């Protein structure tokens, strides 16, 4: 499948950056503080794309309706902020992918449900913020993904019709958001993938097995 697009928008966690080790570390710190043994990283990784909500559900069985959930969420955020970049890195092959997009003059941006409190310093430290044509965080619009509002805001900032953009993400919500925004929706199989349906059941326009597949689909490889 060959794509003809004017811009590429990416999810952040699980698509561009591997932040699961630090998210899982914050969750296990909370367990340790409560006298509970740490959970294996493999158990927590799949939940990383859902941020605090996913980590608290996996580590403490605490959902938004749970008594004291707001306090647990705030504690998680504070702990995560302290270790934001302790182990977080770009995924392998993401740096060459972004370099190639830059070389070919194809703008790219970031659309994440991560609050700007975390997304901005993380993106800055990993060298993404100065290069991205837009950064839309979880508190940049009135709605978060799977609502299309964040993607539409990114297209607005780029000055492009949404239909000329594609969105790359590693969660079923990303595919729903991309379709709702009338963008191409591409699934990143190297990411966290959540705990819902298998990736090939997401209805993505294309499943990318590794970052280089995006370049090949754009005829840039």
Q: Give me the pLDDT at residue 2, please.
A: 76
Query: Does this model's pTM top 0.75?
Result: yes
Active-site residue 78, yes or no? no
Distances (CA, A) of 87 to 17, 91, 129: 11, 12, 19
Q: Which residues contact 199 (CB under 8 A, 6 or more apart)?
A: 187, 189, 193, 207
Q: Give me the pLDDT at residue 221, please.
A: 78
117-136 average pLDDT score: 98
- The percent of residues above 70 in pLDDT, for the chain, comes to 100
- Identify any residues that bridge with 13 across adjacent strands, giving them in sequence order: 17
Q: Which residues contact 3 (CB under 8 A, 6 or more apart)?
A: 166, 184, 206, 217, 218
| pLDDT interval class at 196 (50, 70, 90) | confident
Task: Tell me the C-alpha distance between 212 and 67, whole Å.
Answer: 45
Task: Tell me the C-alpha distance between 151 and 131, whole Å.
Answer: 18
Catalytic residue (one of 11, 22, 170, 205):
11
Active-site residue 13, yes or no? yes
pLDDT tens sequence across 57-116 = 999 999 999 999 999 999 999 999 999 999 999 999 999 999 999 999 999 999 999 999
- What six digits make up the tokens of 23? 């998210």
């Amino acid at each position: 499948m060959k794509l003809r697009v004017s811009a590429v928008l990416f999810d952040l966690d699980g698509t561009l950056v591997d932040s699961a080790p630090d998210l899982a570390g914050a969750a296990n710190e909370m367990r340790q503080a409560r006298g509970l043994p740490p959970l294996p990283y493999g158990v927590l990784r799949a939940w990383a794309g859902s941020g605090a909500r996913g980590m608290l559900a996996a580590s403490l069985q605490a959902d938004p309706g749970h008594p004291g959930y707001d306090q647990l969420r705030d504690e998680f955020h504070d702990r995560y902020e302290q270790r934001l970049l302790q182990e977080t890195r770009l995924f392998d092959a993401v740096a060459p992918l972004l370099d190639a997009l830059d070389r070919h003059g194809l703008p790219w941006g970031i659309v994440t449900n991560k609050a700007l409190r975390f997304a901005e310093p993380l993106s800055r430290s990993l060298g993404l913020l100065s290069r991205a044509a837009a950064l839309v965080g979880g508190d940049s619009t009135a709605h978060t993904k799977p609502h299309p509002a964040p993607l539409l805001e990114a297209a607005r900032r780029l000055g492009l019709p949404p239909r000329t953009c594609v969105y790359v993400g590693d969660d079923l919500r990303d595919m729903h958001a991309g379709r709702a925004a009338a963008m191409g929706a591409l699934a990143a199989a190297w990411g966290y993938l959540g705990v819902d349906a298998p990736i090939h059941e997401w209805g993505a326009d294309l499943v990318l097995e590794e970052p280089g597949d995006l370049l090949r689909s754009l005829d840039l490889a």
